[in-house]
Structure 1
Amino acid sequence: KLLLFIQRLFLSVCLFDEEPVCLHTKVLSCWFCRNCKVDVAFLMEGSWSIGKRRFAIQKSFLGNVVKAMGVGPQGAAVGLVQFGNKPTTEFNLKSQWTSKEATAAIQEIKQQGGYSNVGKGLQHVYKTFFLDKSGNRGRAPNVAVVLLDGWPSDAVKEPARLAREAGINIFMVTVEEADQDEKKLVSEADFVNQAVCRTSGFFSLSVPSWNEVHKFVRPLVERVCNAEKLLCSKTCLNSADISFVVDGSSSVGFNNFRTVLQFVANISRAFDISDTATRIGMVQYTYEQRVEFPFNKYNSKEDVLNAIQHVSYWNGGTATGAAINYAVQNLFSATKPNKRKILIVITDGRSYDDVRGPSAEAHKGGVIGYAVGISWAVHEELMAIASKPEKDHVFFANEFGGVNTVVSQIVTNICKEFNEQPRN
């Protein structure tokens, strides 16, 4: 009983102290420490259906969530959008720099009225909210928390998809959700799973009534602040290990090799490069192979681009199959969990060894293969190197000068493939 009393006392101090102190012991843990480094848009229900009393309860709930997150320059940044007939940004990410200021701003909000247009609210968020000029901090995950009384008045599927593809982690908190008879009146009966980042249950909370919503402060904050599980913040541009396997054979020549390096740099430039985002590695090959730089050597785009430009031309034969094996063993063996493994092979001629076996093994190991052929490259070999469907993973240029024309299509295809992954 004494322990329970202490825990409750500590919880009340944490919730209502302007500057909560985090304790790390085996008995107590302050679950909202100031390591909650996220940028959050709260989408607040402002329709007439919620009523004045429940609207006031909603504001109190949001105030407690904000206090628990520890808002500030070193912690969370929060903003709020009210949705009714049309969405309105009540305050953005750079407006409030402390929990006290944000909580006070929430209490001043007046109910908008109208319908529960969640879809319009999500559209407003992905188009206008997470912009640099609105206070988006860039490296902090973007989160949208939707509080909904019952069910939406409009469609959420498409605006939610666009928001997720922009890297926004959508959470749905539904209060007094529709019963079986009422669900027949909802245009998208499965609107929660159609909206959230993943359909695993982590991104959705079902609250029985507004009288019980205070019990969900802690579960919501724990999830929003869990950066490891904010999977929607992983986009096609910041979630891969990309290995370039570059032909350095004598048929390429010094000047053309410099053109290939520029091609590698142009693709790399499109990605967000850091130790926690996309990482770039490079192998050059002739009959032999060498790692020009591994994934963990350079942690900034500037350093990667500089390293690419300083790769020296090797000169020799063409053993593409051995180079693919080498890249898998020497680069992808050190890939990080949840990273997409992308292999981009650039060659200008026929390989002296077999490429089918090494390519098949790479694909079996989860490596996504892209083949870029130039001049005398063999179509059948490019098809074997590439993942399926080959039409999205094989590219060809008649001469070295034309290779940079396919840069944008390769990046587009990498993103298309990422966005087509199942959400569950």
Structure 2
Amino acid sequence: VISTVPRTSPLFIVVPAIECDVRAGKISLPEFIVKCPSHCRETKQQVYGTSVFASISSICNAAIHSGIITNYGGKVIVKKMAGQNTYKGSNSNGVRSLSLPKWRESFVVMEGKPKKGVIYPSTLDFDKAPAATTALPTTAAPEPTTTTTTTPEPTTILPTTQAPTTTTTPPPPPPPTTLKTRAAVHKVRDAGHVDWNCDCYGVSLACKVDLVFLMDGSWSIGKRRFKIQKDFLAEVAQVINIGVAGPMMGVIQYGDDAVTEISLKSYSNSRDVKTSITKIAQKGGVSNVGKALAYINTHYFSDANGNRGGAPNVAVVLVDGWPTDKVAEASRLARESGINIFFVTIEGADDNEKQNLVEANFVDKAVCRTNGFFSLPVSSWFALRKTVQPLVKRVCDTDRLVCSKTCLNANDIAFVIDGSSSVGTGNFRTVLQFVANITREFEISDTDTRVGAVQYTYEQRLEFAFGQHNSKAELLNAIKRINYWSGGTSTGAAITFAAEQLFTKSKPNKRKIMIVITDGRSYDDVRAPALAVHSQGVIAYSIGIAWAAQDELEYIATDPDKEHSFFVDEFDNLYKFVSKIVQNICHEFNSQPRN
């Protein structure tokens, strides 16, 4: 691909431009140069690994993650290399890379400045289906060209004195098996022809979830029905087309206790998951579903077990009859951790058996919403297979996986900060540290929690708007850089200013939260501005220090005052309220109706 051209060569190099979503594995060249566009970071195209990346990673976001280019784009040299046994995820330059257990091909990115005399292809050779791969004929050489820029083969650049037939080009790596290709394979098996745009089971091929099934291994299920359960899980594994770019699937078996049979990082394709499922032996015991839900919350969905972070967590519980322990508390904790819980109940209790239930209405107490979407009752084990398609459609409907939104990533938070003369430079830095400590507790991005800040005296100043800083590191640096203003104290005007400058631009699916921090009585009225923002659905917290007026703090705060209004004698004691405020924000989020 790369050749050394004499210094006298008049060759003009054209750097091909690519889009943000182009993955290194789609370009069948061992080394090449490309130009990335601006604002790739906002596209959230996935990156796997740190320094060395799996070839299914976005080239441009890998380059931003490595610091080779900024979010404004630029030229990048890509060099392929062998696959790695593990890829470690990390946060860098506003891009979060994900972990991956294994991949067949890797690449590294370098600054897009070719060495003197080294020429890279001006066009890119993209991977196609295997049948589309062609090679130069060996029986006849093409006519000599007068300059290397006109050669028709982009993977080989030759000096003008060398015959093309003497050059050997390494074969491109085999094309990756994509979700669409696997779907087509299923179509061949089932119908005998190929439709490369096939969605063979009516299931979205863009499904990307971290999915675990809790299978019932209790003695009450019996060997025959346990085998039916394994067949059901194997078919689900086949239908969802498991892969690192799509869904990953694991299995837990529960009885007296829960045990991991397949972790999220165990296998990266449907075939291996199916094979592993067939080998699962029934463990016996009773149906302790509550203990199993507690197990997934504390152990299963972790980075060490393959949790990817960027994919919704989904747990599907299969129950023969009903649980032998309570599920409400364990389910609540799991939901608050962002786990979407589905229940598939087979041969549930009839009217004569309901007195045997440990916990009445256990399904409604466990699932994310009690609207029927998260629960599938099945009349018998022999009807279980019919639920494969509807269940997979639901777990892949990421827009309705509401429990993926937690109290930590569902907010627009505005800090309204008193910069009056009575605060002083040292205390103002203490206030900024308090703001940073609260911010640090939330997941920060344009699609997660967003933070804005206003500083006020007699006047008001927008320090930064919602979404202006879309990573936690950027945001914390922005807070640190806020300069102390000094002046009077007009808190009412500051509340109105924050409502106009920040909350009018709040996203409709975000909770609007305002945190006002002041050390004295306001020179203007706070009641009318506070009532106005309350009526707009803003949840207001007031933090008073030293000479702050208690009545004004109560006017500002959302009812009940004791949950939203706080007072300390000294600035140095502000830190005591960080955990309390975060806990209150989460409590209010989690106590919202689940219907």
TM-score, with structure 1 as normaliser: 0.92
Please tell me whether residue 13 in structure 1 is matched to residue 187 in structure 2.
yes
**Contact 1:37/1:140 (8 A) holds in 2:** yes
- Listed one character per residue, the Cα deviations across residues 126-158 of structure 1 (whole Å, up to 9, x for unaligned) are 121112211111222211100111111221112
Identity of aligned residues (%): 57
Aligned letter for 1:59? Answer: K
The residue that corresponds to 1:253 in the other structure is 424
Rg (Cα) greater in structure: 2
Please show how residues 285-304 of structure 1 align to structure 2 within 5 Å. Answer: 285-304=456-475
The match for 1:145 is 316
- What amino acid sits opposite 1:218 in the alignment? Q
Check the 8 A contact 2:187/2:200 in 1, yes or no: no
Residues 1:133 and 2:307 aligned together: no
- Taking the aligned partners of 1:46 and 1:14, their CA distance within structure 2 comes to 35
CA–CA distance in structure 1, aligned partners of residues 190 and 325 of structure 2 = 36
What is aligned with 1:92?
263
Whether the 8 Å contact between 2:209 and 2:247 is mirrored in structure 1 is: yes
Correspondent of 1:407 among 578, 584, 593? 578
Deviation at 1:313, TM superposition (A): 1.8
Question: 1:206-217 maps to which residues of 2 (within 5 A)?
Answer: 206-217=377-388
3-state DSSP of counterpart to 1:181:
coil
2:345 matches 1:171: no
- The residue type paired with residue 225 of structure 1 is C
Contact 1:23–1:30 (8 Å) recurs in 2: no
CA contact (8 A) 2:184 2:196 kept: no
**Conservation of the 8 A alpha-carbon contact between 2:186 and 2:200:** no
The residue that corresponds to 1:23 in the other structure is 197
Q: Distance in 1 between matches of 2:419 and 2:189?
A: 62
Instruction: Please state how far the C-alpha of 1:10 moved relative to its aligned partner.
Output: 7.9
Which residue identity does 1:268 align to in structure 2? Answer: T
In structure 2, what is the Cα distance between the partners aligned to 1:87 and 1:29?
34
Selected match of 2:278 from 94, 104, 107: 107
The residue number in structure 1 matching 2:4 is none
What is the CA–CA distance in structure 1 between the aligned matches of 2:374 and 2:537, rounded to whole Å?
A: 27
What letter is aligned with 1:244?
F
| Preserved CA contact (<8 Å) 1:43 1:121 | yes
Aligned-partner residue type, residue 290 of structure 1: R
Partner residue of 2:484 out of 298, 313, 318: 313
CA distance in 1, matches of 2:230, 2:416: 55
Equivalence map 1:223-238=2 (5 Å): 223-238=394-409
Q: Which of 208, 214, 222 is 2:393 aligned to?
A: 222
Equivalenced residue count is: 411
Contact 1:22-1:29 at 8 Å conserved across structures: no
Are the counterparts in 2 of residues 32 and 222 from structure 1 also a CA contact under 8 Å? yes
Change (3 A) 1:127 1:395: same
C-alpha change, 1:422 and 1:79, in structure 2 (3 Å) is same
- Residues 175 and 15 from structure 1, CA distance in 2 versus in 1: closer, same or farther, beyond 3 angstroms? farther
* Residues 305 and 394 (structure 1), Cα distance of their counterparts in 2 relative to 1, 3 Å cut: same
1:16/1:67 contact within 8 Å kept: no
Whole-Å Cα distance in 1 between the matches of residues 333 and 285 of structure 2?
A: 24
Q: Secondary structure at the match of 2:357?
A: coil
1:282 alignment counterpart: 453
| Counterpart Cα distance in 1 of 2:412 and 2:248 | 30
Name which of 355, 367, 372 aligns with 1:196.
367
Distance 2:225 2:573 in 1: 63
> Which of 398, 402, 405 matches 2:569?
398
Offset at residue 14 of structure 1 (A): 8.8
* Alpha-carbon shift at residue 402 of structure 1 (Å): 2.1
Query: d(CA) in 1 for partners of 2:536 and 2:239?
Result: 43
Partner of 1:120: 291
Q: CA offsets per residue over residues 199-248 of structure 1, 9 Å max, x none?
A: 11111111122222222112111111122221112222111111001111
CA RMSD of aligned residues (A): 2.2
Per the alignment, do residues 421 and 21 of structure 1 end up closer, same or farther by CA in structure 2, a change over 3 Å counting?
farther
Contact 2:445 2:467 (8 Å CA) reproduced:
no
Tell me the amino acid that sits aligned with residue 226 of structure 1.
D
- What SS class does the counterpart of residue 125 from structure 1 fall into? helix
Alignment of 1:266-277 (within 5 A): 266-277=437-448
Instruction: Show the counterpart of 1:4.
Output: none
In the alignment, is residue 423 of structure 1 matched against residue 594 of structure 2? yes
SS state at 1:70 partner: coil
| Cα distance in 1 for residues equivalent to 2:188 and 2:368 | 29
With over 3 angstroms needed to count, the CA separation of the structure-2 counterparts of 1:116 and 1:265, relative to structure 1, is: same
Instruction: Write the letter of the residue equivalent to 1:81.
Output: I
- Are the counterparts in 2 of residues 23 and 29 from structure 1 also a CA contact under 8 Å? no
Sort the Cα spacing of 1:404 and 1:14 in 2 relative to 1 into closer, same or farther, 3 A: farther
Find the aligned partners of 1:365 and 1:121 in 2 and give their Cα distance.
42
The 3 A distance-change label for structure 1 pair 29 and 358 is farther
**Over residues 250-280 of structure 1, what are the superposed CA-to-partner deviations in whole Å (9 max), with x where a residue is unaligned?**
2222222222111111110111111111111
Q: What are the superposed Cα offsets for residues 61-117 of structure 1, whole Å, 9 maximum, x if unpaired?
A: 111212222211111121111112221111111111111111111111111222222
Shift of 1:11: 11
Q: Distance in 1 between matches of 2:586 and 2:337?
A: 11
Q: Of the candidates 218, 230, 245, which is equivalent to residue 47 of structure 1?
A: 218
Distance 1:53 1:16, change over 3 A: farther
Give the residue type in structure 2 aligned to 1:153.
Answer: T
Say which SS state the counterpart of residue 184 (structure 1) adopts: helix
Q: Which whole-Å CA distance do the structure 1 matches of 2:517 and 2:372 have between them?
A: 42
The DSSP-based 3-state class of the residue aligned with 1:54 is helix
Letter in 2 for 1:360: L
The secondary structure found in structure 2 opposite 1:402 is helix
CA contact (8 A) 1:15 1:68 kept: no
1-structure distance, mates of 2:587, 2:500: 27
